[in-house]
Amino acid sequence: MGDNFFNEFSKKVAGYSDDELIEVLKNRSHYKGQAAQLAVKEALKRGIIRSEADLPEKEYEVKPSRFTIFPPVKNAGSREQLIRSLARSVLLTGVIPLIFGFIKISGKDIMEGIVLLLLGIIWILASAMVLRKLEEKFVYVVLFICFLSFFYVYRFFSQVQLLRVTDMFIAIVIYGLVFYCLLYIRSLLKIRD
């Protein structure tokens, strides 16, 4: 796919008008490395720019995208602070399975309680490792546990006779925020690489 894609893309870029090529240059950060380089080479060939040193000029300045679900943070220090802040939030939500584990154990459902306790501990430890080491592999551990807990909560709600809308709403909001935080952390960690 790689070579064929770039051959097709280079043909497509060669057919662009100068104005279209300038737009590609302005949006080059939204393209993969080789695709952006193809656009730069074509602009050099046509004389639109004299060298790659012209790219930082105002005319070719990269336009920030208007809306993204996971906005990129260019400053490394700010990015690290944001990752740590999001990881702390995810870490705190790991207390929920611990609480349910203790409730299950006290209600004489010891096996299920122990499983919940273990998953809660793994959730908190993996979140703490994201917080401390800033490594993507720990995000996947928490995502996996969160995914498992989603099915547990679904099973729990399906067994409850008197289910309130607010119960469902709170669960959906918590899961939405946790999944968003984890996926945002993952995208921020990918920027570092």
Q: pLDDT tens for residues 115-164?
A: 999 999 999 999 999 999 999 999 999 999 999 999 999 998 888 888 78
Cβ atoms of residues 54 and 60 within 8 Å? yes
**12's tokens:** 């497509």
Tell me the whole-structure pTM to 2 decimals. 0.66
Query: Residue 108 — left, alpha, or beta (φ > 0 → left; ψ -120 to 50 → alpha)?
Result: left
Residue with tokens 């060669």: 14
In the three-class reduction of DSSP (H, G, I as helix; E, B as strand; rest coil), residue 64 is classed as coil
Q: Which amino acid is at 40?
A: V
**125's tokens:** 């430890």
Q: What pLDDT is stored for residue 86 in this prediction?
A: 95
Q: What pLDDT is stored for residue 98 in this prediction?
A: 94
- Percent residues over pLDDT 90 in the chain: 48
- Mean pLDDT per 10-residue interval, the chain, length 193 residues: 68 79 72 73 78 65 68 84 95 94 93 95 96 93 94 89 87 95 93 66
Instruction: Please report, for residues 31, 39, 132, 138, the alpha-carbon distance to residue 16 in angstroms, rounded to integers and kept in the order given.
Output: 16, 10, 47, 44
Q: What pLDDT is stored for residue 63 in this prediction?
A: 58
User: Which residue in 35, 45, 39 sits closest to 22, CA to CA?
Assistant: 39
Q: What pLDDT is stored for residue 163 in this prediction?
A: 78
Q: What pLDDT is stored for residue 35 in this prediction?
A: 72
Cβ atoms of residues 73 and 82 within 8 Å? yes
Cβ atoms of residues 28 and 65 within 8 Å? no
